Chains A and B, each alone.
Chain A
Amino acid sequence: MNTSPTVVVGYDGSEDSTTALRWASRLTRAVGGRLRIVHAVGLLEHAGLLADHVTVHRETALGIAAGAGADPERIEWSVVDGDPCSALLRMTVPPQSADLLVVGSRGSGAHEGSLLGSTSLELAERSVIPVTIVPREGEAQDFSAPV
């Protein structure tokens, strides 16, 4: 990492992405880095047809980041066309470039162990920079228990 690392975080307004945004904000505060919040806009969202649509507001995202300690002067907001995985990957490579990619976990039983349907797993597989997958709040595993 350089002296002022750039952290990219995916944000779609969901609870999991909000958790990831808070975590990334705290990290950038701790390391003095820049925070790039990326929201991917797909086919359905562009047309206003997304089921269970969560309206994503720039102000909301910036407020969450600032509330978690990120320096408002060092926060970027990017809306990118594409599916979440492609859009986030595009924002981590030149000419953008970044040092760390942060996403929420958002797993479900149906997708367990499968890249299909899991943006976080797919990003972990494809990203050329380190990826942090932030677990859902309250779902931290007890590693002292037998596995």
Chain B
Amino acid sequence: MKLVVAGPTGTTEHDGGTFHPEQQARIASVMDGIRALELGDEVVYPPTPKAELGDLIRVHSEAYLTELEAFCAKGGGDIDPDTFARSDSWNAARRAAGAGLAAIAALEDAGEGVGFVPVRPPGHHAERDRAMGFCLLNNVAVAAASLTARGQKVLIVDWDIHHGNGTQSIFWDDPDVLYVSTHQFPFFPGTGRAREIGGPKAPGLTVNIPLPAGATGDVVRAAIDQVARPTIEEFSPDWVLVSCGFDAHLADPLGDLALSSGDFAELARLVNEFTPRPGRLALFLEGGYHQMALKLSVTDTLGALLDLHTHPAAPTYGGPGMNEVLLAVSERRRAMEAIQTTMSSVEGGR
């Protein structure tokens, strides 16, 4: 067994219409991308039950969950100009969150392979008590929290073009989760500056590398390698989860970065270096709104992780952003020094 596909979900539910970029057709494109790998019996599809309340409550407030369920039960509607819910969205969101848990369980049982979670609605913008940015429940956070509840340390790498404000805020002060994000900035949702480095119990365990429009794959790889790698190696995760958006692709209609599908393959190889042993890497679909780019990116990304010769697109080079990578290093250092100074003065005052 090489690939665990926990899903798909959201293929016939949570329908925002074809005008909305976060649409059911996305999952069909993703599944086309998996089929192109021709994995035969090397791919398994574990059952994906809905996440239980006990799983969700680790990362979302009970009041929010109750409200979301009731909102959907009344027929749903627009939550904000971007985000919708329908009568079936509560169950769709629970299925998406449950798929991540199923991927973790299947990988643990197998002790090998790579997990992929092709679900919608996506999750990384969903905060503890609010939906936003197309996201209702934070799928990757639900999975990460299930692992930290069992004493595991989790690295979340978020290469979606948008900063994962929800994931960051949920684990802001959690010493068992290291959150690393590369994203276009300034851009939606407006968070993700390099100086945002985590709370007092987890200083440095949030790593943001904001990048300018037009940044290419070499810049994103340098961002992870030069800014995040030292922190990741020191953190030494037991699990690596990826908020795997493909909207940094050059063709994507929602963003302005300039990656190719081959860049995602390179990023996947890079992130896989942080996996402590086989069977400890799972990728969660987040954004990605150009159907062909989505399909090709899925094929190239998973192909790279499975060491298949899929002839990925050429990686991209030469875009802007290397200065911002260097700036992120210095901005993080200054933020860490400020936290250490504050902590020293608090301790000195006792």
Contact = CB atoms under 8 A, between A and B. Distances in A.
Interface of A: 12, 41-47, 49-51, 80-87, 90, 108, 110-111, 114-117, 119, 122
Given A114-B71, A116-B67, A116-B68, A90 B81 contact: no
Contacts of B78: 117
Nearest to B75: A110
14 contacts: A42-B133, A42-B188, A46-B254, A49-B253, A51-B19, A80-B190, A82-B189, A82-B190, A82-B191, A83-B81, A84-B81, A111-B71, A115-B67, A116-B85
Interface size band for B: 20 to 34
Interface string B185-220: 011111100000000000000000000000000000
B189 A81 contact: yes
Nearest to B163: A81
A69 B253 CA distance: 40
Interface of B: 19-21, 67-68, 70-71, 74-83, 85, 130-134, 162, 165, 186-191, 253-254
A119 to B, nearest CB: 7
B135 to A, nearest CB: 10
A interface, by DSSP: helix, strand, loop or mixed? mixed
Contacts of A50: 81
Contacts of A51: 19-20
Contact of A110 (B77, B83, B132): B77
A139 B79 CA distance: 23
Contacts of B131: 116
A47 to B, nearest CB: 5
